């Protein structure tokens, strides 16, 4: 998604994003549970400095805050002010004292300085306008030995099963929801981006864990910076 399009897609989606996530990703597809699992795969984070790229409404924050503990901290960055407003309301209502939220482009992360102990990104990197540059920046901000955790979709169309058969039916609904841009719903283009990005990433991290979810549509990758 082009950077200029992020606010128009996500500021609007922010109003229903958490409710939609809870119905679709949690109750229907049961993939929300992979979020906590991904964060657990980062191992012991007590006292750690963690960066959440594309923090959105802050769905990772409850798990991250409890894992870093009072001596750790979390920085969440997102380009959508609407999504950040939701995250900020969550921080306030939950009284998270060690969370900072900033507006910024995931590709540039302007003004953000290393060395982070961990960088996490859930369902964001696949849609940023320059995936490889975003990965390079994330790695630059990680200390050597720091952990990178990505949970994302590998493809917009599952390879098999009911979600594959019904793709032609629900693809227009996805488009109509206004959350994904037309280019991000192009299954071939989307898959190729992750294939190239993965080839770029492989020599730069030691893979600690890798798995797929939702009929191989989604993936979780946890690695350690070399
Ligand atoms: C599907 S949401 C995921 C939000 C959150 N990580 C979650 O798990 O619910 C994608 C997020 O990526 C953000 N985003 C997209 N492109 C971005 C960019 N170039 N820089 C920063 N944030 C971006 C959007 O604003 C949105 O909040």
Q: How far apart are CA 188 and CA 193, in angstroms?
A: 9
Domain coordinates in residue numbering, the chain = 3-225
Q: Which residue has the tokens 């990758």?
A: 221
* Residue located nearest, by CA, to atom 27 of ligand 1: 56
Please give the pLDDT value at position 33.
Answer: 94
pTM score, whole prediction: 0.95
Please report the pLDDT score of residue 209 as a whole number: 98
pLDDT digit string, tens, across residues 81-101: 999 999 999 999 999 999 999
What's residue 2's pLDDT?
94
Low-confidence stretches of the chain (pLDDT beneath 70): none
* pLDDT per position as a tens digit, 110-152: 999 989 999 999 999 999 999 999 999 999 999 999 999 999 9
DSSP-derived 3-state class of residue 109? coil
- The bridge status of strand 49-53 relative to strand 142-153 is unpaired
Do strands 116-122 and 205-213 pair parallel, antiparallel, or not at all (unpaired)?
A: unpaired
Strand order of the β-sheet with 49-53 is: 99-103, 73-78, 49-53, 116-122, 142-153, 218-225, 205-213
Q: What are residue 101's phi and psi, to 5 degrees?
A: -115, 140
Ligand 1 pocket test, pick from 56, 112, 151 with the greatest ligand atom count within 8 Å of Cβ, gives 56
Q: Is the beta carbon of 148 within 6 A of some atom in ligand 1?
A: no
CATH pick for 3-225 out of 3.40.50.150, 3.40.50.740, 1.10.1040.10, 3.40.50.300: 3.40.50.150
Residue 132 is predicted with a pLDDT of: 97
């Amino acid at each position: 998604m082009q950077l200029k399009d992020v606010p128009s897609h996500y500021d609007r989606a922010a109003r229903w994003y958490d409710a939609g996530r809870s119905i679709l990703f949690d109750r229907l597809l049961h993939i929300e549970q992979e979020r906590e699992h991904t964060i657990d795969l980062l191992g012991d984070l007590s006292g750690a400095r963690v960066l959440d790229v594309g923090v959105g409404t802050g769905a990772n924050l409850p798990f991250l805050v409890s894992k870093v503990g009072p001596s750790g901290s979390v920085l969440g960055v997102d380009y959508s002010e609407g999504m950040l407003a939701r995250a900020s309301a969550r921080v306030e209502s939950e009284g998270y004292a060690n969370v900072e939220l900033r507006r910024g482009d995931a590709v540039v992360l302007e003004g953000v300085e290393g060395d982070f102990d961990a960088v996490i990104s859930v369902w964001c990197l696949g849609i940023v306008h320059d995936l490889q540059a975003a990965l390079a920046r994330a790695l630059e901000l990680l200390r050597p030995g720091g952990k990178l955790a990505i949970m994302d979709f590998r493809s917009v169309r599952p390879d098999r099963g009911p979600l594959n058969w019904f793709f032609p039916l629900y693809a227009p609904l996805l488009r109509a929801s206004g959350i994904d841009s037309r280019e991000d719903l192009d299954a071939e283009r989307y898959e190729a981006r992750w294939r190239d990005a993965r080839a770029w990433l492989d020599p730069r991290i030691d893979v600690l864990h890798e798995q797929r979810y939702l009929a191989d549509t989604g993936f979780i990758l946890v690695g350690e910076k070399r």
